[in-house]
Amino acid sequence: MIASPLTGLSLSSAHRAFAAVGQFCAQGDMSKNLQTCVQLISGAARRGARMVFLPEASDFIAENRAQAAQQAQALDGAFMKEIQQAAKDNNIWVSVGMHEQQATGLPFNINAVVNDEGMVVSAYRKLHLFDVNVKDGPRLLESASSSRGDRVADVVDTPVGRLGLAVCYDMRFPELAQSLRARGAQLLSYPSAFTEPTGAAHWEVLLRARAVETQTYVFAAAQIGRHSAKRSSYGDAMIVDPWGVVVARCSRTTSEPLLALAEINIDYLEKVRREMPVFNHKRPDIFTDYSS
How far is the CA of 222 from the CAs of 25, 55, 75, 118, in angstroms?
Answer: 9, 5, 21, 23
Which residues, 6+ apart, have CB-to-CB distance to 102 below 8 Å? 108, 147
Nearest to 105 by CA among 143, 138, 140: 143
Burial class (CB in 10 A: 0-12, 13-18, 19+), 45: buried
Where would I find the H helices in the chain?
30-46, 65-71, 78-90, 174-182, 196-214, 266-275
Check if 126 is active-site.
Answer: yes
Task: Please provide the DSSP assignment of 193-224 as one string.
Answer: ---HHHHHHHHHHHHHHHHHHHT-EEEE-EEE
Confidence (pTM): 0.93
Residue 16 has a pLDDT of: 87
Rounded Cα distance between 137 and 1, Å, is: 36
Residue 13 has a pLDDT of: 56
Residue 137 has a pLDDT of: 65
How far is the CA of 128 from the CAs of 106, 109, 143, 167, in angstroms?
Answer: 15, 10, 9, 8
Phi/psi zone of residue 152: left (φ > 0), alpha (ψ -120 to 50 degrees), beta?
A: beta
Catalytic pick among 25, 37, 100, 126:
126
Catalytic pick among 56, 100, 196, 250:
56
Residue type, 232: S
pLDDT digits (tens, 9 = 90+) for 180-200: 999 999 999 999 999 999 999
Residue type, 110: I
Residue 66 has a pLDDT of: 82
Check if 37 is active-site.
Answer: no
Check if 168 is active-site.
Answer: yes
Residue 45 CA to its chain's centroid (Å): 18
Residue 11 has a pLDDT of: 47
**Residue 112 in contact with residue 80, Cβ under 8 Å?**
yes
Catalytic pick among 25, 37, 100, 168:
168
How far is the CA of 22 from the CAs of 56, 109, 219, 224, 240, in angstroms?
Answer: 10, 18, 10, 10, 14
**pLDDT tens track, the chain, 292 positions:** 445 555 554 445 557 899 999 999 999 999 999 999 999 999 999 999 999 999 999 999 988 878 888 899 999 999 999 999 999 999 999 999 999 999 889 999 999 999 999 999 999 999 999 998 877 766 788 998 999 999 999 999 999 999 999 999 999 999 999 999 999 999 999 999 999 999 999 999 999 999 999 999 999 999 999 998 889 999 999 999 999 999 999 999 999 999 999 999 999 999 999 999 999 999 999 998 765 5
**Residue 244 in contact with residue 272, Cβ under 8 Å?**
no
